[in-house]
Amino acid sequence: MSISIFISRLAKLALALTLGGCVSLNFGGAKIIKSNEVKFKEPVKPFREVKTAAQDHTWRNELNGNTISYLSECNDPSDPSLEQIATGITGEIDDAQKIESSEVDFNSRPALHSIVDGKVDGIATRFELMILKKNSCIYVLTYAAVTSDFAASQKDFIAFAKGFQVP
């Protein structure tokens, strides 16, 4: 499966979780190897973990449906750049508009932090992404919300990202 299909499914996952559904994803055609060395502090209530087979962890805000998640893929032979991943994301979101995008230091490596507005199945959605590559692994931290509710839980995503550590 290509990175663009992954990105499309990521967008659909965010919306599906916002609306209470579930979608599976896969970065590439090979068997996924997830990182087992991630350390993080779970988002606080009203977020509650939602079990999915494809994400490492996903939490849904029980009050507004906003989601925080992360996924990892290690030893991907395609080795996409941070910019390729971000371009794939914006390319697969209807009416995507990049609000913000900058390279930041994250876990002692360059990472790409982006905020993107778009529509998923016709619903205005905002995504905040932190994309990191470290030690042969790709990490994508995602905050997704219906645009009108984005500010309500953004601080929770920022706190989650600050506590997210990989070797």
**What CATH number should be reported for the domain holding residue 128?**
3.40.1000.10
Could you list the residue range(s) of the whole structural domain that residue 24 is in? Answer: 3-163
Q: How far is CA 26 from the centre of its chain?
A: 13
How many residues does this entry show for the chain?
Answer: 167
**Residue 22: pLDDT over 80:** no
What's the pLDDT score for residue 100?
94
Q: H-type helices in 1-149, by residue range?
A: 3-18, 82-92
Strand order in the sheet with 94-106: 47-49, 57-61, 67-74, 137-146, 123-134, 109-120, 94-106
What's the pLDDT score for residue 30?
63
Percent of the chain clearing pLDDT 90 (strictly above): 63
Percent of the chain clearing pLDDT 70 (strictly above): 81
Our CA dihedral for 142, 29, 120, 90, rounded to 10 degrees, sits at 70
Closest by alpha carbon to 93, among 162, 56, 142, 50? 142
Number of domains composing the chain: 1
What's the pLDDT score for residue 75?
83
CB 93 within 8 A of CB 102: no
CB 93 within 8 A of CB 136: no
CB 13 within 8 A of CB 25: yes
